[in-house]
A and B are shown apart, each in its own frame.
Chain A
């Protein structure tokens, strides 16, 4: 499913003294099959944007507002996720939510059921219109738990609250992917984990991307994580997508990113520091890519007469 957003705006508490405009016209496209990153500091609108993707926040659809827009000659905002037109009130939002899985920050705080298998089955039961047989549910839950790297037989009857932090997060992710969404959106999937736990979660996301969900979108503050993993990155600033670029192009703009209050990956910092010393280096900004580029520079130049 391709995601197309055009001129998307959103105001919290519209019409009240507390109104804050979170999105001021977001235009971006996420192609099917991408491992897409969204960065931007707190308050840049990135969470507001992703909450639109499965209809948790809706486009302004009141007729009055539309008329007003039309009168003022403004173009309508557009948000399409595959076949779903999210500006249309008649869209089947339940079907949309089944196809766009949303994993919030610290999803382990949202576990609630008595056993792991009930927790994972919850979304499946609620998003599926027809009644599923016990066997169907069991096999879906087993598949979901196994792909996130947990042993179904061992874990299914345990209380989710007796698991370790990393296991809880996996169970929470299983509870979202169990509906086989085509698009999986995760807000800070690796936050709060130790370095090894982080790496495991990223490996899991790559596995899901390959075998389970066509498109993965992650929101992250960790620039190294973005540089290592994403096909393209959207930089949110002041309610709009300021840049949408692959990491190897984006992180060349380290000055612009810093001006937006954002960090850059370590590899970009090193590249800048080398440049100041007269060494220009071209890499894709992944750690291994950077190392390869440095080594090539040394051996490559060594061969010159």
Chain B
């Protein structure tokens, strides 16, 4: 079943200046899709359309069996959780558990149920020890995990992360990507990960590249990274490791395209040592 589908969607922020024209895009249930693109390519707009934060001018957007229309809006939002970029402006309460409960309280879940959902959500993001901690004293990565827990408490079927790791340090980034991957594998939540960290896209089953409101590349992350010349034209640079292997190849090294440090080191070592021996 399709978790999200865009059919012939057009959207403009300013009248007449279309960002999307006849966009078609879909995500299967249980899939983990990465959306890549430089700043301003339309990837965040895509996320906001899928959650009904923005309304398409033309075309149809469906989330599972619901068409995105005013009367379905709340149904859709229960299914789709979004986590945004800035950890500091996604928390509403001063204590972690209150913050996680906020969404669930607002959809009027019974009190007993909310307690259980907080347990589940905090456990899923590895923050159960912080249940009574002050949000303001958490690190960026921890705050983002609380934000994810707040979304999880609503038991969404789809989770969209809109550059949720961009403001975090490497450790915080790892925390988030690990949680997201686990939620996808173990809780079978469909994940749309919007990012410009190429390395993060490697976690996904499938990746798409956006440029000027169009989907210009799609495939497995490895396939996409192989097409570096094309990536460059969309203002996306190769991951640094890709640049190194490509340059070495141009200099007569028999190294393959890889994004794995050990593999590349092995190949370089072979080239250097064989010449030596």
Cβ of A273 and Cβ of B39 under 8 Å apart? Answer: no
Cβ of A236 under 8 Å from chain B: no
Q: How far is the CA of A40 from the CA of B241 in the complex (A)?
A: 23
Cβ of B25 under 8 Å from chain A: no
**How distant is A169 from chain B, measured CB to nearest CB, in Å?**
10
Cβ of B171 and Cβ of A196 under 8 Å apart? Answer: no
Q: How far is the CA of A302 from the CA of B271 in the complex (A)?
A: 11
B258-277 CB mask vs A (1 if < 8 Å, else 0) is 00011011101101110110
Q: Known: A196-B236, A266-B240, A291-B244. Contact between A274 and B269, CB under 8 A?
A: yes
Cβ of A277 under 8 Å from chain B: yes
Cβ of B170 and Cβ of A263 under 8 Å apart? Answer: yes
Closest partner residue, chain B, to A273 (CB atom): B265
Q: Is the interface of A mostly helix, strand, loop or mixed?
A: helix
Q: How far is the CA of A165 from the CA of B275 in the complex (A)?
A: 49
Closest partner residue, chain B, to A261 (CB atom): B171
Q: Known: A266-B261, A270-B265, A298-B253. Contact between A192 and B248, CB under 8 A?
A: no
Chain A residues near B276 (CB, 8 Å)? 301-302, 304
Cβ of B244 and Cβ of A41 under 8 Å apart? Answer: no
Interface residue from B38, B169, B251 paired with A197 (Cβ < 8 Å) = B38
Cβ of A57 under 8 Å from chain B: no
Cβ of A62 under 8 Å from chain B: no
Please classify how large the interface on chain B is, using the bins under 10, 10 to 19, 20 to 34, 35 or more. 35 or more
Cβ of B169 and Cβ of A42 under 8 Å apart? Answer: yes
Interface residue from A43, A196, A263, A270 paired with B139 (Cβ < 8 Å) = A43
Cβ of A166 under 8 Å from chain B: yes
Interface residue from A42, A166, A191, A278 paired with B273 (Cβ < 8 Å) = A278
Cβ of B24 under 8 Å from chain A: no
**How distant is B141 from chain A, measured CB to nearest CB, in Å?**
8
Interface residue from B196, B247, B253, B265 paired with A195 (Cβ < 8 Å) = B196
Chain B residues near A269 (CB, 8 Å)? 261
Cβ of A56 under 8 Å from chain B: no
Q: How far is the CA of A295 from the CA of B255 in the complex (A)?
A: 13
Chain B residues near A221 (CB, 8 Å)? 169-170
Cβ of A297 and Cβ of B272 under 8 Å apart? Answer: yes
Q: How far is the CA of A194 from the CA of B243 in the complex (A)?
A: 16
Which residues in A have some Cβ–Cβ distance to B below 8 Å? 41-43, 106, 164-166, 191-197, 199, 221, 224, 261, 263, 266-267, 269-270, 273-274, 276-279, 287, 290-291, 294-295, 297-298, 301-302, 304
Sampled A-B contacts (8; CB under 8 Å): A165-B39, A165-B40, A194-B196, A194-B236, A195-B236, A224-B240, A266-B241, A302-B276
